[in-house]
Structure 1
Amino acid sequence: MKLNNFVKQSSLNIAKEGNVTCLYCPELLPDFCKEMFTSAYWQERDAILGSAVGRGTAWFVKHPVTDMVLRHYYRGGLIGKLINDSYFFTGIMNTRAAKEFALLNQMQAMQLPAPTGVAVKVTRNGLWYQGDILIELIPGATDLVGLLTRTELPDELWLEIGRTIKLFHQKNIYHHDLNAHNIMVDSDNKVWLIDFDQGKLMPKAGPWQHNNMQRLLRSFNKEVKKLPVFHWHERHWQLLMQGYNC
C-alpha cells in the first residue's frame, strides 16, 4: 500500500521534517510532536510509568488521552550485534515500524484483542533507516510469564488463551514471535496478544499456524527451565490446545 493511501484510509496525520517521517492518530495524540519518540521527553514531564527490558527498553508513558508503550526497533541475532538498529530503506510502508502500525490498524478493524497503534517514526539516513513506535498501553494487563511466576492460572483462563489465539489464526494473522511474554491478561481476565513486529496478514491458513503454536510451546518449556518458580505444566498446554481447537 502506498503511504498516502494508508494515511487517508486510516484517518491518520503525517508529519515530515527533514529525514524524519511520522504517522500518528490525531484523536489519540492531538498534541503530537516527534520528540514523543524519546524517553527524555516523557522523563522531563514526569510521565514515565515504568519500563521493560527485552531486546531494548520499552517505556510505559502517561498521556492525558491514553497511556502508551514507546518502543525502538532493534535487530536480533548475530546481525544485531553488528548493525544494532539500522535497516535497509526501501520505502516508508516497507519499514518494520510502518508494517506493524498498519497491521495493528487492520486488527482493530477486525476487532481483535490487540493494542492500538498510536504513532510511528521513521528516520532515514541515506540507504538506511531507524524506527520507533508508540502503542496504546493495555490497562491493568500483565504478561503471562509475570503471572505464572506468581500463581497458577485457572483452567478456564488456559482455555481462553487458546480461544484467543484461534481468533487471530481464523483471521489469518501471523504472529512472528508468539511466546509467553507476548500474551497479556488484563484485570478482567481478557486475553490480548502484543508485539506484532514482523507479523503479517497471511493469504490463507497453512503450516504457519502449527508453527506459531510450536513456538509458543517452546517458550513455555524455556521459561520452566530458566525460572526458579513458573507455574506451568503439560496439563496447561493441553487445556490451551483444547480451547484453540474448540
Structure 2
Amino acid sequence: MVKPCREKVLQQDNLYCVFDEEKIPDFSPEMLGEDYWLRHKTVDGTARGRGTTWFVSHNKQQWVLRHYYRGGLIGKFNKDSYWFTGQNNTRAAREYSLLLTLEQLGLPAPQPVAYRVIRKGLFYRADLLSTRIKDAEDLVGILSRKPLDEALWPEIGATIRRFHDHGIYHHDLNIHNILLDQQSRVFLIDFDRGEQRTVADSWQQANMERLLRSFRKELNKIPGFHWREEHWQLLQQGYLKKT
C-alpha cells in the first residue's frame, strides 16, 4: 500500500529542498550541511569514501548526511559540481525518489529524510539526509575480523534477489554497501545513480558480477580476509532460490 505523500518543498532563490515533514518537522536547509551538526554537537561519527559521510542524531533519530562528490578523472578537477538539466534529474532528487520507492516496497534500505540542491549558474551541488541503519556494519568490516555464519550467505543472496525482483538496479553493488545489523538482518545502502528498471537478466547478472569482483578485490587487499569462493556459491544459492 502506497503511503500518503509526506514530502514538502522549500525553495529560496537558488536553493531547492525536499523533506519528509514526519521525520523532520523542524526542517531547516542548514541541516543539509555538516556545519549545522558540528555546531549543535550532534555528530555521532564519520566515514570516509569519496568524501566524508556524517552520522548525526536529531530528536532521538539517527541519520546519515552525504554530499555528492564526483569520482574518476573528472573528480580531480571538479569535485562536486554537476550540470543542471532539471530539478528532477539531479542526483539528490533521483536517489531520494528511489529510496522512497524502496520504503514503499518494504525493502531493507535507508529511508529518505531530506535533500537540497544549490544552483550556481548552469551547475548545482547537492546533499542528502537518509536514515541510518541502527547497529549495523558493512561486510568489509565484518569479514576483516571474522568469518560469517554460513547460513548468512544464502540470506545475503536472497535479499539482493528481492531488490532485483522489483527491478531495483544498484549502480555500485559491492560489499561496502551491504550491511548486517546485530540481528543479522541484511540491508543495502548507497543508491546514488540507482534506478528502477524492467526486470531483465542482463543487468541483474552484471550487478552480481560486480559484487563478486568486490569480494575478490578485498580478498587480495586485506590480509586474513574471511572470504572464499565457496561462500559465493552459497550466496548464489540464496539468490537463485525461488521464493
TM-score normalised to structure 2 length: 0.96
1:80 deviates by 1.0
CA offset digits 1:25-81 (Å, max 9, x no partner):
011111110111111111111111100000010000011142100000011110111
In structure 2, which of residues 171, 186, 190 is the aligned counterpart of residue 191 of structure 1? 186
Inter-partner Cα distance in structure 2 for 1:10 and 1:211:
34
Give secondary structure in 2 for the equivalent of 1:114.
coil
Give matches, 1:18-97, under 5 Å. Answer: 18-97=13-92
Inter-partner Cα distance in structure 1 for 2:67 and 2:224:
30
Structure 1: tracts of 5 or more residues without a match? 1-7
Structure 2: tracts of 5 or more residues without a match? none
Amino acid at match of 1:158: W
In structure 2, which of residues 212, 235, 238 is the aligned counterpart of residue 240 of structure 1? 235
1:83 deviates by 1.4
Inter-partner Cα distance in structure 1 for 2:140 and 2:118:
33
1:206 deviates by 3.0
- Asked if the contact 1:115–1:194 (Cα under 8 Å) also holds between the matched residues in 2, the reply is yes
CA offset digits 1:81-128 (Å, max 9, x no partner):
121101110111100100000000011111110110100000011110
Inter-partner Cα distance in structure 2 for 1:140 and 1:32:
25
In structure 1, which of residues 157, 163, 167 is the aligned counterpart of residue 162 of structure 2? 167
Inter-partner Cα distance in structure 1 for 2:32 and 2:222:
33
Stretch deviating more after TM superposition (173-182 or 28-37): 28-37
Quote the residue 2:7 is aligned against: 12
Q: Does 1:101 align with 2:133?
A: no
Q: Please provide the CA RMSD for this pair.
A: 1.2
Inter-partner Cα distance in structure 2 for 1:76 and 1:156:
36
Inter-partner Cα distance in structure 2 for 1:147 and 1:230:
9
How much identity, in percent, do the aligned residues show? 52
Q: Does 1:209 align with 2:204?
A: yes
Give secondary structure in 2 for the equivalent of 1:155.
coil
Quote the residue 2:177 is aligned against: 182
- Asked if the contact 1:89–1:95 (Cα under 8 Å) also holds between the matched residues in 2, the reply is yes
1:11 deviates by 1.9
Amino acid at match of 2:129: L
Give secondary structure in 2 for the equivalent of 1:222.
helix
Give secondary structure in 2 for the equivalent of 1:166.
helix
Quote the residue 1:5 is aligned against: none
Amino acid at match of 2:194: G
1:229 deviates by 2.7
Inter-partner Cα distance in structure 2 for 1:51 and 1:222:
24
Stretch deviating more after TM superposition (114-123 or 57-66): 57-66
- Asked if the contact 2:138–2:175 (Cα under 8 Å) also holds between the matched residues in 1, the reply is yes
In structure 1, which of residues 85, 110, 132 is the aligned counterpart of residue 127 of structure 2? 132
